[in-house]
Amino acid sequence: MILFLMLLALLLLILIDVPIGVALGVTAAVTMALTWGTHIIPNVGLTLYSGTTKFTLIAIPLFILAGAIMNATGISRRLITFTSALVGFVRGGLAMVTIGSSLFFAEISGSAVAGVAALGSILIPAMQRKGYPKEYAAAVTSSAATLAVILPPSLPMIIYAVMAGTSVVEVFLAGAVPGLLGGAMLMCVAWWTAVKNNYPVEEAFQLTRVRETFKEAAWALLLPVIVLGGIFSGWVTATEGAGLAVVAALLIGSLVYRELNWSVLRAAMVEGGLQTATVMLLVGASALLGDYLTGVQAPQMFAESLMEFTSSRWMILLILNIFFLVIGLFMHSAAAIILVVPIVMPLVHAAGIDPVHFGLIVTLNMAVGQQTPPVASVLVTACSIAKADIWDVSKANVPFVAVLVFILFLVTYVPAIPMFLVEHFYR
Amino acid sequence: MDRTCLAASGLLEKVQSRSQPVSPHNSFVSSLRSTLDRSLEWVVIVLTTLLAVVVVSGFLFRQFGAPLIWYDEVAPILLAWLTYYGSGLAALRRVHIGFPRLVANSPKRLRIVLGWIRVTIVVGFFVVAAWAGWRVLEALEDTYLVSLPWMSAQITQSVIPIGSVIFIVAEIIAFTGWLKQQEEESTS
């Protein structure tokens, strides 16, 4: 009963716009005091502190910083130029360039919001100038940027791995094939839409142009090789990989390209710090909630009651998928992962689901959630840049979201797709 | 609009600067806001830079066969500091992750009542957190970091009471700005 009241209070606080991190902290602290007595309150200070001292999560500000440096040093621009030379000849070339550039950007920054803000500010106006409807321009940029959630080094994957107590590197690797598959399918949909609406090609294919732009972008293209190569080979941890990304981006930007816009970098560092702080406040406050839920064994009770209803792994995955899709409609991805993953993990283990496989399912659900209003962080950012109505953009986005949902169900019910690389290299 | 992603795309400051003109009667609050904003911005920049330097140094020193023994202990402390000082800045700019739609779309009078309830809950929570953090500091007297025995744990954990007080001040400043905005919207 007290658990039900706690969840009700949490929902109520969130609905009246109390920051979710604070709402978590308030409900957990009050429930703990009611259950165990007020002498427990000093633990709030201790848990709020220890909850945020998680080494793996240091990767979050560092990957955001790496993305900021990429923008401040013209690395993003060079990636766009190279992608344009590579795929711009296809009908709907700029949409292809957007998806291709997002794939490259995703493999360094790990943040979909950072990706849509960085690439969208260049590519959405460019698409509008070429006659693409602004709704379509926003939709394709938003969906393409969301690939950052599925591809390594995805920030939601890092948060999931910490909350689920599983290997970050394995979750990263599980996302590689579905992420690339998603990128290819988004390109197919973009091409089909372009042919249907007679969108223009961007530039004729010329091998010399590809060679020239490749020379310019070669150092930038080396970034994901260094970072992901380092992480997957075991040379560096995910956190150190993020540090490496910062140094490599800084060296390439300042020494090779000799472009370092300090004011852009400064603003981006502050924004990165803000993003980190808002997510980490959730992590710290969720540690309080975690203490309470563990104390009363709520996750175990939840697992037992659902297992009584069905013990079929596929049925449980279907229920969890629907649950996460609904949560994703109303909640920021980091908040949803932090809040729900610790509660469902005992169920995941009891049903014999691999936590790495489940990690990809969760992050894919969050990727869909970022595209579906009312709470759709990536979509809203794209709409802000395009100055387009969110509902009109959502209509244009339906085919792209359908691709993400298709990938989600493919990953859920054909575990070999995300897991074969993990099985091959790490088990 | 989703405040978090507007902030991430750099559009929030532009929106805020347009929607919150400074008037003489709240000049004290305005100057307090800008001083706090600027100070916390620098704290965030310094902490992010330090975090990058510590992680990269830790990796490099390990590669050269001389691992830094304090690396694993100090880096997470910097993250905790970035969390709570950055949270103060996020509170000042009202960009914490939340669900503002329902309140934003409610009638003005209800919106203001809900705003007061919100600020009371947030301030109340951080008053408790500051007190709890202070009690922890008292308990940590004569406790030092394992890898840096000269560094008191009281300093590292001071972020909870200090960060809580900053959060309270930031929340109140942001709330006064929000209230003023509601008044301006109803008069325009």
Task: Flag whether pLDDT at B16 surpasses 50.
Answer: no
Go through B82-111 and write b for each residue having 16 or more CB atoms within 10 A of its CB, e for each that does not: bbbbbbbbbbbbbbbbbbbbebeeeeeeeb
Residues facing A337 on adjacent strands: none
Q: Do the Cβ atoms of A313 and A306 come closer than 8 Å?
A: no
Q: What is the pLDDT of residue B24?
A: 52
pLDDT in tens, A383-420: 888 888 888 999 999 999 999 999 999 999 999 999 99
Q: What is the pLDDT of residue B12?
A: 43
What's the pLDDT tens digit per position in B149-166?
A: 999 999 999 999 999 999
Look at the block and give the residue holding tokens 């945020």. Answer: A52
Mean pLDDT calculated for residue range A284-305? 85
- pLDDT tens digit sequence for A219-241: 888 888 888 888 888 888 889 99
Per-residue pLDDT at A336: 86
Which residue in B11, B90, B117 is closest to A277 by CB distance? B90
Residue A110 is given by DSSP the state -
Facing residue for A26 by CB, picked from B78, B121, B160: B121
**Average pLDDT score, chain B:** 86
pLDDT at B161: 96
pLDDT(B11) > 90: no
SS3 state of residue A50: helix
Q: Extract the tokens encoding A259.
A: 């472009």
Between CA B160 and CA B174 the distance in angstroms is 20
pLDDT, one tens digit per residue, over A350-379 is 999 999 999 999 999 999 988 988 778 788
Interface predicted TM-score (ipTM) of this complex, two decimals: 0.86
Mutate to test the interface with A, among B78, B96, B158 (most CBs of A within 10 A): B96
Task: Look up tokens 């007190």; give the residue.
Answer: B131
Q: Is A4 exposed, middle or buried (0-12, 13-18, 19+ CB in 10 A)?
A: exposed
The model's confidence at residue B188, banded by pLDDT at 50, 70 and 90, is: low
A171 vs B12, higher pLDDT: A171
Residue-wise pLDDT tens digits, B88-120: 999 999 988 888 888 888 999 999 999 999 999
Q: Is it the case that residue B7 has pLDDT exceeding 80?
A: no
The B residues from 64 to 83 touching A (CB cutoff 8 Å) are: 72, 75-80, 82-83
Q: What was the pLDDT predicted at B153?
A: 93
Q: d(Cα A50, Cα A68) in Å, to the nearest integer? A: 28
User: Given this model, what pLDDT does residue B25 score?
Assistant: 55
Q: In this predicted model, what pLDDT tens digit does every residue of B48-90 receive, in sequence order? A: 999 999 999 999 999 899 999 998 999 999 999 999 999 999 9
Contact B83 A21 (CB under 8 A): no
Whether residue A328 has pLDDT greater than 90: no
What is the rounded distance in angstroms from the CA atom of residue A91 to the CA atom of residue A20? 44
Q: Is A387 left (phi over 0), alpha (psi -120 to 50) or beta?
A: left
β-pair partners for B144: B152
B 102-161 residues with CB < 8 A to A: 102-104, 114, 117-118, 121-122, 124-126, 128-129, 131-136, 139, 157, 159-161
- A278 in B contact zone (CB under 8 Å): yes
A54 inside 8 A of chain B by CB? yes
